[in-house]
Structure 1
Amino acid sequence: MSQTRQSAVLRALARVLRPVARLLIAGGVPFQAASESLKRAYVEAAARHFGEEAGTDSRLSLLTGINRKEVRRLTTPVADEWGPESVTSFASAVHAAWTLREEWRGPDGKPRALPKRGEGSFDVLVKGVTKDLRPSSVLAELTRLGYVEAGPEDTVKLVGDVFLSQRDFADRLGPLAENLQDHADAAVANVLGRVPPFLERTLFADELSAESAKAMQEEARAQWKRVHDELIIRADALEAEDRALGRTVTTRIRVGVYVYAETPGDAPAPAPKESDDE
């Protein structure tokens, strides 16, 4: 790939990665974990989309710029299942243990306040979950997320309903991953010259008031509701036709729409409240 082409790809990538980086930071994911995911994605993409060129670990290494030892590690089943865990992941596990394990609950069944150190302390709780992080690091993260408050006499207490918000956050991440992956796959295929190209069209206006932008969003929602309902009817009819004709049914399709609006110069919208992140 020429330097000019590389530079163009990297400029586009920088814009694409900014909202992803925002999500990673808001979710407490450290750069190490994110870079591990990117390395794995490199190897998986090379093996999947450049199969004839890939072939061996040496060829995968040449295609991706990742050394052969790392390529071998990333192509093993274990590499797909395990990756570096962030302090936030451990903090969530500690919170679960504090909430669910009987030894950490009081007579009322609720998580009891714990001394920071010593017997029956927060330190002991953390070490029962992981020995990879210092208890002080986990405490700092739980405090940052708003799940722990300092109590009297050097104690700490748990606050907030984490499990409901954690479940909501996971529910939001699922559609985000599925939708963005398919949208990105379609866009990349088009850039690489797919024939015929996938449908990908947008409308852009940049001389609107905030009120008009809101009106546009409402109109888009209403229009999408109509199209969505019509496409469901069409999909049902086509599925019935496929069954009747005995066609092979191994192809999937996703049709979507999005709206984004911002006012240049405004401060970026804040990340979701931490109680919504974990």
Structure 2
Amino acid sequence: MHDDQVDVTADIVAILIREQFPQWSGRAIQPLLSTGTVHAIFRIGDGLSARFPLRLGDPTETLAVLEREARASAELAQVSRFPVPEPVALGKPGAGYPMPWSVQTWLPGTVAFDADPSGSDAFAEDLAAFIAALRDAEMRGRRFSGDNRGGVLAHHDDWMEKCFEESEGLLDVPRLRRVWSHFRELPRTGADVMSHGDLIPGNVLVTGDRLSGVLDTGGFGPADPALDLVSGWHLLQPGPRDVLRRTLACDDLEWERGKAWAFEQAMGLVWYYAESNPTMSRMGRRTLGRILASTE
């Protein structure tokens, strides 16, 4: 998926486990087929998962990121009533793999890519309860870091211009430019709240059309209150999407900003993963379709 991607195999993982965590030696190692774009994931026995960063980076910087993600995941676990992975250990480079890696608890369930809950009002209510709990979490003086989504929409103009250029021949770019020209002007009024930051189908577990767990919690941190509303566009059909909005009591501006963040994310997914991760690319197209339908 990435020019600087590092390959990880089950044999490499087995050596790393044997050398660094011998207490888990002998447990079955199963690579997971995943739409994830940041980590290669391997199940270790019944209760653990190992996550290996896919993109080559400086080991010291990568370790700092993994440590920060572990702290964030542990904090989110304290405020969520829905199961989330909890950090277990950090591994070191070795066996041909050049970077640190992490181990978490394993959660049962089916990702929303495979068990589509988009028509479920109950799932929308669960999602709202999860987002509300995060919003109520202690800020402890923290503010948005300025990285990635969750700050000022117009700060993403350069990225969006690249997306528009790369999407020529794939999407109706003139129409999408007009939509962005509206979104980028939406003012920010609400103070930061704690946010998951990436509520897409691959990060949400479903059991029987109900939310049964949330993955990729290492980005838990302060951001625009509208950021987690991307879930309404990535995960829900119109009826349940309205349930999410009503349950969270979103005003018009906050709801529109959530749509804008979903638009910014979806625009990048369509072209970047068109060949390397078709599932993510299709998700981007679906989200854009939902957003455009809501503006007609």
- Give the TM-score category using the shorter length: under 0.3
Normalising by the residue count of structure 2, what TM-score does the alignment of the two structures yield?
0.22
Structure with bigger helix share is: 1
Normalising by the residue count of structure 1, what TM-score does the alignment of the two structures yield?
0.23
Query: Greater CA radius of gyration, 1 or 2?
Result: 1
